[in-house]
Amino acid sequence: MSLRIGKFLGIPIKLHFTLALAVLLIAWTLAVGYLPLEYPGLSSITYWLIGIISAIILFTSVLLHELAHSYVAKKNGLPVRRIVLFIFGGVAEIEEEPKEASLEFKLALAGPLTSFTIALILWILHYSASVFGVLAIASLRYGAYINLLLGGFNLLPAFPLDGGRILRALIWYRKKDLLQATRIATRIGIFSSYIFIFFGFFFIIGGSFIGGLWFILIGWFLRNGAEASYKQTIVSEALANILIQDIMTREVHTVDPDLLIKDILETHFMKYKHGGFPVVKDSKLLGIITLEDIKKIPKEKWQETKVSDVMTTCEKLVCAKPNESAVDALMKMSKFNIGRLPVQEDGKLIGIITRSDILYAIQIKKELEGRV
């Protein structure tokens, strides 16, 4: 569950609910553990204020880090769906993989360079903040350190961290094979995740429960991220150069808008076992009716309710064109959490593409190329 707080560079910015937990955890760690040792003799309120301000600086820095990735992506024609800040930091959801190794390199490097720049700025401000007292000095100093750490951590060669993506770009440039480069980077990323998990358990046994738990969670996050990125690359490669018109279903069972709900349950849903059907009149697409639409109507009204009364109208539909790529279709389905897209040309329905069509195309492509 995420809360949208606005847009920047045309990109929606969202805060995941786990971010509140992260801010409190970081503030507590600083206020109770680090700050009393570094700045002894201050009040508890001062320690907590510094902790909260420092946590806010951290996640603002993470946002700027992700915005740097997003800026490079958008400048090079890659759509960015959104930026989400959560307990482990943040992620810019870039909807397409870079088409060239050089772009992957620039895209990955932008984040760490931004973090190092922020660290330098905060360090300079830290020296000139003595007039504002320990509250400003401690917060700026922590911000400088944490950005230095953030940039360094992201440069670790553990895919899908920035360093892992830089490694993939270099292998990709040398091997001229994105899938092979991703496979190598993923293996290194998974191995690195196990190292984090091992040290996490080691720290817990040694008495540092919070630090050990963070290492375990980071390792788990890296492992899942590496596997998910690898699967995404496999899908993108399998669907490369495949257009919607190549795999869509052309013989579409359609529904007349004037039919009654009770009739189409028998003539369409029970007979063809699909989850939804396009509603068409005179070859023009008017909408789609699904089982979910029908469930909203009381059963006793099915004998008097027309399809046009409950269908999802064309204005609310996400549609596709036959010359779009299959990858774009899959992205649309994922983005809007839908299982099918009507395919239109000149305002007329010429087919429909479903997740099953895409998955079948991926399976065939992998079997023909001998990839697992």
Please state at what angle helix 18-29 crosses helix 44-75, rounded to 10 degrees.
130
Rounded Cα distance between 199 and 29, Å, is: 19
Query: One of 66, 97, 104, 237 is an active-site residue; which one?
Result: 66
Known active-site residue 96: no
Reported in sequence order, the residue ranges of 174-324 that DSSP labels E, i.e. its strands, are 276-281, 284-290, 312-313
Q: Write the CA distances from 95 to 80, 289, 327, 329, 371, integer angstroms.
A: 6, 28, 10, 12, 24
Separation between Cα atoms, residue 228 and residue 245, nearest integer Å: 28
Q: What is the rounded CA–CA span in Å between residue 127 and residue 55?
A: 20
**Residue 182 to residue 162: CA distance in whole angstroms:** 13
Q: How many CB atoms sit inside 10 A of residue 195's CB?
A: 14
Whether 147 and 119 have beta carbons less than 8 Å apart is answered as yes
Instruction: Classify 207 in phi/psi space as left (phi over 0), alpha (psi -120 to 50) or beta.
Output: left
**Cβ(90)–Cβ(65) under 8 Å?**
yes
**Burial of 11 from C-beta contacts in 10 A (0-12 / 13-18 / 19+):** buried
CA nearest to 291, candidates 316, 261, 254, 317? 261
Cα(218)–Cα(196) distance, rounded to whole angstroms?
Answer: 7
Residue type, 79: P
Which run of H or E residues covers position 351?
A: strand 348-354
Active site residues: 66
